[in-house]
Amino acid sequence: GENVEQHPSTLSVQEGDSAVIKCTYSDSASNYFPWYKQELGKRPQLIIDIRSNVGEKKDQRIAVTLNKTAKHFSLHITETQPEDSAVYFCAAILFSGGYNKLIFGAGTRLAVHP
Amino acid sequence: KAGVTQTPRYLIKTRGQQVTLSCSPISGHRSVSWYQQTPGQGLQFLFEYFSETQRNKGNFPGRFSGRQFSNSRSEMNVSTLELGDSALYLCASSLKAGGPGNEQFFGPGTRLTVL
C-alpha cells in the first residue's frame, strides 16, 4: 500500500554534530521527495527537495540523497545548531487514480543540545 | 504575496456536531490539499482539490468532505464529530496539482478540539 516510513522517530545530537534521517517509500513510480521542517507551534516549511533523476542535492548544511533502487532517501544536516531543533518530515509523491498525492512520513523530532 | 490563510485558528466542538474549516490559498495557486496532524500519526493526507475538483482522497471516513470554489478557496467539513477528530488541520496550496517542483505551502492550521 501507500507508505513512507521514517526513522528515527526521535534524534538527539550535540551542537556541531551531524544528524541523519532516513525514509523509505513503497511506490517505485514516485519521483519527487521533499523534506519539511516544522518548528514548535509553526507550520511545516519546505527545506529541500530532490527529484528522481538526481542522486544528491546540497544546500549549505543540508543535503539529501536518493537511492531509487533501494527506494531510500535521507536527510543529512551537518554542523547542527540549536535552531535546527524541530520535527522533520519526509514525503514522497505517489500516483493514485491518475493524479499525484504527497504522502508524509511520521516525522523525526530532532533535538540539538548546546 | 500573502501566504496561505486558514480560519478559524481554534475551534472547540462537542461530539456529534459538525464543523467547517476554511482555507484561502496563495493568490494564483489552484491546488489545495488538506492534512490532519496528530501527535502520534504525523501528517495524514485527507484530500486534494484542483480547479474545483477533488483529485485525490486519503483513507478517511465519509464524514470528512471538502469542496473548492472558483476562486480556489477551499472548505473542509467534518460531520458527526468524534473525540478522535481532535487534531490540527492543515491546508497547503501549490500552483498546480501535486508533483515535482510544485512546492506545497502550508497554512497555520486550525486546531480543532472535540469534547
Residue B103 pLDDT > 90: no
Q: Does B97 touch chain A (CB under 8 A)?
A: yes
- Work out the burial of residue B56: count CB atoms within 10 Å of its CB; fewer than 13 is exposed, 13-18 middle, 19 or more buried: buried
End-to-end CA distance of chain B: 37
C-alpha A52/C-alpha A55 separation (Å) is 7
CA distance B34 to chain A (A): 11
pLDDT band for position B49 (50/70/90)?
Answer: very high
Q: Does B109 touch chain A (CB under 8 A)?
A: yes
Q: Kindly state the helix (H) or strand (E) to which residue B102 belongs, with its residue range.
A: none
- Work out the burial of residue A60: count CB atoms within 10 Å of its CB; fewer than 13 is exposed, 13-18 middle, 19 or more buried: exposed
Residue in A with minimal Cα distance to B108? A43
Residue B3 pLDDT > 90: yes
C-alpha A89/C-alpha B1 separation (Å) is 25
What's the rounded mean pLDDT across residues B84-98? 88
Residue in B with minimal Cα distance to A101? B98
Q: Which residues in chain B have their CB less than 8 angstroms from residue A93's CB? A: 98-100
pLDDT band for position B59 (50/70/90)?
Answer: confident
Most confident of A86-95, B18-27, B95-104: B18-27
How confident is the model at residue B86, as a pLDDT? Answer: 96
Contact call for A101 and B45, based on CB within 8 A:
yes
Q: Does B106 touch chain A (CB under 8 A)?
A: yes
How confident is the model at residue A102, as a pLDDT? Answer: 82
- Starting at the earlier edge strand, list the strands of the sheet with B5-7: B5-7, B19-24, B74-78, B64-68
Q: Does B113 touch chain A (CB under 8 A)?
A: no
Residue B111 pLDDT > 90: yes
C-alpha B29/C-alpha B12 separation (Å) is 30
pLDDT band for position B98 (50/70/90)?
Answer: low
pLDDT tens series, chain A, 114 aa: 568 999 999 999 999 999 999 999 988 888 889 999 999 989 999 999 998 888 999 999 999 999 999 999 999 999 999 999 999 999 998 766 656 778 899 999 999 999
Contact call for A46 and B33, based on CB within 8 A:
no
DSSP letter, residue B63 = T
Contact call for A93 and B90, based on CB within 8 A:
no
CB A76 within 8 A of CB A90: no
What's the rounded mean pLDDT across residues B91-107? 80
Q: Which residues in chain A have their CB less than 8 angstroms from residue B106's CB? A: 36, 43-45
The residue among B32, B48, B55, B56 with the most chain A CBs within 10 A of its CB, best to mutate, is B56
- Pick the closest to residue B99 from B31, B13, B16 (CA basis): B31
The pairing of strands A10-14 and A62-67 is: unpaired
How confident is the model at residue B89, as a pLDDT? Answer: 98
Residue B15 pLDDT > 80: yes
